[in-house]
Structure formats: structure tokens, C-alpha cells
Amino acid sequence: MNNVPVMTIDGPSGSGKGTVSRAAARALGWALLDSGALYRLVALAGRQAGVSLDDEPGLPGWRRRLT
């Protein structure tokens, strides 16, 4: 199994997390995964599938169909 380096950067909206993470990934030669973008894509896909985003019982079942 390969060891993949992981760095997480947390902070409030607008604090520069994206800027810092892109610079760190570039400097270290690492790939960047923007988890915030993943959350937004899942929300968009749910909306397009007609799932109400406040349907807490329904969201987990729908999410499993994405994989």
C-alpha cells in the first residue's frame, strides 16, 4: 500500500484556505483535493435529482447511489 501524504487546512469562509492550500500543494508537488467543491457537487447533484436538501432521512440513501 502506498503512503499518500495528506494535509488538511481548516478555517472560516474567506480566510484564505484555498490560496494557502494551492500554494502548499504546488510547493510540495502534491495533488490538491478541494473537499468544499465536493460538498457543493453532491448538493447540486441532489437538487438535480429532485432530493430535498432538508430531507435528512432521504439524503443518505440517495448519496449511496452516487458511488
Grid coordinates of 30:
502534491
Give the pLDDT score at 27. Answer: 96
Residue matched to cell numbers 484555498: 18
The DSSP output letter for 29 is: T
Give the pLDDT score at 63. Answer: 67
Rounded distance, CA 61 to CA 36, Å?
21
Give the pLDDT score at 42. Answer: 79
- At 49-64, the pLDDT tens digits run 888 878 777 777 776 7
Residue 67 has pLDDT above 70, yes or no: no
- At 1-55, the pLDDT tens digits run 578 888 888 889 899 999 999 999 999 999 898 888 888 887 788 888 888 878 7
Rounded distance, CA 64 to CA 26, Å?
33
